Structure 1
Amino acid sequence: MTTKDRSLAALGLDDVPARQPLTYPGRPTPEPALLTGDELLQLDVRPLRLGEWFVEEQQEQQRLDEALAELGQVVTGRRHPVIAVGSNASPGQVAHKLTRLGIPATVPMVPVRVHGIGVGCSGHISPAGYVAGTPYVDRGAETTLVVAWLDSTQLKAVDDTEFPDYRRAILPGGEFEMTMPSGERLGGAYIYFSAHGVLADPVTGLPRPGGGDQSELLAALLGSSARLRELLGPDPAAWVRRAGADRELRERGTLVFGEEGWVLPQTEFLPYVDDAAALRLYDDLQPLDGSLPYRA
């Protein structure tokens, strides 16, 4: 039992990058938790399936699936695990995306160790004016990424915020190992990847690391391109203000990324997007309730 204030504001997790672009990607969920409106309730990890973990509520403990049912929400076995690479790991951003559409922001969010995925920067400027993150395949990488369990309505809503700039792939756990804090393995999960490619470091030619401070990233990009400075400078604050207000400027800036030779194409996820790949995964792994299951 806990009496701690679990509001997003009290936890410092209420940043909404869609409204404050320089806060992108926002602060990710630091621990297994249940987002419910403007609160983030701790989950007590057990060596059991996610639905059997306990929610640390204000007055009592109860199993996660029981808490979801009591709230009138879909239980974990009928939800879709989605790996978050950018702001979808931020409770404040997720709550904003859902509640503005009148959809309950009730989402289990769990940091998971994921093998084979690196985090880079998308080769485009987002509608909010920031340069968002994107995953890329790096077979040697091991990264902690937040997985959000979305119901079908929530998944459709998030799809609508990502498309057409991002595509959704379905990653099999046999190729991309995903380990829960309980030690359990996920059988598969969705992930969004950029349709615009990945920004390369102009020196190394390798994907530029993503997920860091947005101001530093924009300052580095401005410092590397006179054309970007003329278009969106002189500083990160001017960049997000001007780009966020003008679609044509965003599109021109995105073209500059390519013309500077900074964009690496994204092809590694394509086999996991086509219908045949999705059907193969579902044939192997999907239970009758339609969710993506765990693999022990």
Structure 2
Amino acid sequence: MPEDLSLAALGLDVVPALRPLAYPGCPAPWPALLTGDELLPLGVRALPLGRWSVAGRALDDVLGERGQAPVGRRHPVIAVGSNASPAQVAYKLLRRGISAAVPMVPVTVRGIAVGCSAHIARAGYVAAAPYRADPAAETSLVVSWLDEEQFRAVDETEFPNYRRALITGDDSGLVLPSGEKLDGAYLYVSSFGILTEPGAGTPRPGGGPQATLLASLLKASPRLRDLLGPDPASWVRRAAADPAVRESGARVFGEESWVLRQPGFLPYAGGAAGL
């Protein structure tokens, strides 16, 4: 493990909201405590997450000394896009004056895959979105534990383009590296559906390089080339500058018959922190 654990030194400091073609950014590479500008490794123990170690001390103790809520009073949230990026999470929280102390742990999730939301985000990129996949399929996704204030802030960045769903551990595995099983976690599901492969009707894979995705969409649709082309750089520039352009692009997705409404996610209907 390197001595300098700053996001910059780790190569994890690119914020997709500020550099749209870098979307989805770099996910947390190992279990860690994000502190804002650093990513401190978590020592995995065969104990509840709050008792995992940060530089030889229990995570809950470290959070408490910072005046932050322990793990048991936090919401576990699965990220499929840029919310897996420590830099993006820190950016979202710190610009609102909120603590960016967030435990982040890569977890294998069963039955959920990463696609592309059928809308264009404010920053100009086409964001990732989850969809129901083969129940036996496994995907490595980052789970973050957000306190109440952080949770509300992240909600604000996701709505109305995404709605929050509740995923149960029985359905999706959700086993931490320690062997501890989560009862459930929250997940943001696209309000617009997901993009399909042109002519195939199957979900278009998400999570890859944004420039590659946008170039593929431009190649497949003369209407998108007229609206957002000729290249990915012009796409994000035009889309970020004008909400009407973003809305028109989303309409083209539907008119090209590229949108799949993905059922199977239960909308969140209330509950307590600390799932």
The aligned residue for residue 229 of structure 2 is: 233
Task: In structure 1, give the amino acid aligned to 2:30.
Answer: E
On the 8 A contact 1:195/1:266 being kept in 2, the answer is no
Whether the 8 Å CA contact 1:126–1:250 is kept in 2: the answer is yes
Amino acid at match of 2:189: F
1:259 corresponding residue in structure 2: 255
3-state SS of paired residue (1:189): strand
Q: Is the 8 A contact 2:164 2:268 kept in 1?
A: no
Which residue in 2 is equivalent to 1:16?
15
Q: What is the TM-score of this pair, normalised by structure 2?
A: 0.97
Shift of 1:264: 0.1
Matched with 1:120 is: 115
The 1-side partners of 2:136 and 2:226 are apart by 38
- Take 2:213 and 2:171, find their aligned partners in 1: how far apart are those partners? 31
> After the TM superposition, which residues 193-212 of structure 1 pair with which residues of structure 2 at under 5 Å, given as runs?
193-212=189-208
Give the superposition deviation at 1:220. Answer: 0.1
SS at match of 1:19: coil
How far apart are 1:34 and its partner, in Å? 0.2
Q: Which secondary structure state, in structure 2, belongs to the residue aligned with residue 111 of structure 1? A: strand
Question: Matched residues in 2 for 1:103 and 1:274: separation?
Answer: 24
1:65 and 2:48 aligned? no
- Measure how far apart 1:204 and its partner are: 2.7
Structure 1 alignment gaps of length 5 or more = none
Q: Which amino acid aligns with 1:132?
A: A
1:1-296 aligned within 5 A: 4-56=3-55, 61-138=56-133, 139-269=135-265, 272-273=266-267, 275=269, 290-292=273-275
Equivalents in 1 of 2:68, 2:191: separation in Å?
32
Unaligned 5+ segments in structure 2 are none
Aligned residues: 274
Whole-Å separation in 2 of the counterparts to 1:201 and 1:141: 20
Q: Once the 2 structures are TM-superposed, how far is the Cα of residue 179 of structure 1 from its aligned partner?
A: 1.2
234-243 or 167-176: bigger deviation: 167-176
Letter in 1 for 2:249: G
Kindly provide the amino acid, as one letter, of the partner of residue 121 in structure 1: C
Q: Contact 2:109–2:139 at 8 Å: present in 1 too?
A: yes
For residues 187 and 171 of structure 1, the distance between their equivalents in structure 2, rounded to whole angstroms, comes to 9
**Structure 2 Cα separation of the partners of residues 291 and 26 of structure 1:** 27
Distance 1:236 1:100, change over 3 A: same
Aligned partners of 1:128 and 1:274: how far apart in 2?
A: 26
* CA offset digits 1:42-72 (Å, max 9, x no partner): 001011110110013xxxx211000000111
TM-score (norm 1): 0.90
1:202 is displaced (CA, Å) by: 1.1
Runs ≥4 in structure 1, deviation > 2 angstroms?
A: none
Letter in 1 for 2:36: G
Percent of residue pairs identical: 62
1:186 aligned counterpart, secondary structure: coil
Query: Tell me, what secondary structure is at the counterpart of 2:137?
Result: strand
Report how far residue 3 of structure 1 moved: 7.2
